[in-house]
Amino acid sequence: MIHLIGPAVLASALAGIGVYGLLARRNAVLVLIGAELLLNAANVLLVTASALPAGGLAAIPDPGEAPGEITDPLLSGQVMAIFVITIAAAEIGVALAIVLLLFRARQTADLTAVEELGEASPTYTENPTGAAEPAGAAQPAGAAQPAGGSS
């Protein structure tokens, strides 16, 4: 026996934390962490719904009655939770590829620094691989790469 209030409060708290992370973060990768927390809040609710009997909340037997034996053979909640996890994995793969593309084009993952997308932006570079850029711009970035990889 477990009270349903616990998972409900946990899912709401995770959703609130995820929204805070989405809105308050500046680094694009950390914004994605907020999105992951939001998806997990949905998952908690799905798994909780899967613990209910087949009729949902209305089918929960009263404390005096015998528990009903009718269960959902499709296990919608748990299967949907697995699907959501899969979609989240696909989503973060594409999203991180976009973040890497943004970083390659602008040399920053700071979302407030990217005010305009496309050629109107002052930080737009025609050649995102950095071959046309002055050497001074690429050199400190190169020095920071081994430090990031070694930690």
Do 53 and 70 form a contact (C-beta atoms < 8 A)? Answer: yes
**Of 101 and 117, which CB lies nearer to other proteins in the complex structure?**
101
Residue list 31-60, contact with other proteins (CB under 8 A)? 32-34, 36-37, 40, 43-45, 47-48, 50-53, 57, 60
Distance CA 141, CA 129 (A): 13
Of 87, 93, 3, the closest CA to residue 39 belongs to 87
Q: Which of 34, 36, 44 lies closest to 12, judged by CA?
A: 44
Answer for which of 4, 70, 117, 137 binds other proteins (CB under 8 A) is 4
User: 51 in helix, strand or coil?
Assistant: coil
Q: Does 125 bind other proteins (CB under 8 A)?
A: no
- 114, 31 contact by CB (below 8 A): no
Q: Interface residues for other proteins in 92-121 (CB under 8 A)? A: 92-94, 96-101, 103-104, 109-110, 112
Q: CB–CB of 43/117 below 8 Å?
A: no
Question: Measured from the CB atom, is 59 or 116 closer to other proteins?
Answer: 59
Q: How far apart are CA 63 and CA 16, in angstroms?
A: 33
Give 96 or 116: the residue with its C-beta nearer to other proteins.
96
Q: How far is the CB of 136 from other proteins (least distance, A)?
A: 14
Q: List the one residue from 70, 75, 117, 137 that touches other proteins (CB under 8 A).
A: 75
Report the nearest approach of other proteins to the CB of residue 145 (Å): 5
Task: Tell me which of 70, 82, 117, 137 binds other proteins, using CB under 8 A.
Answer: 82
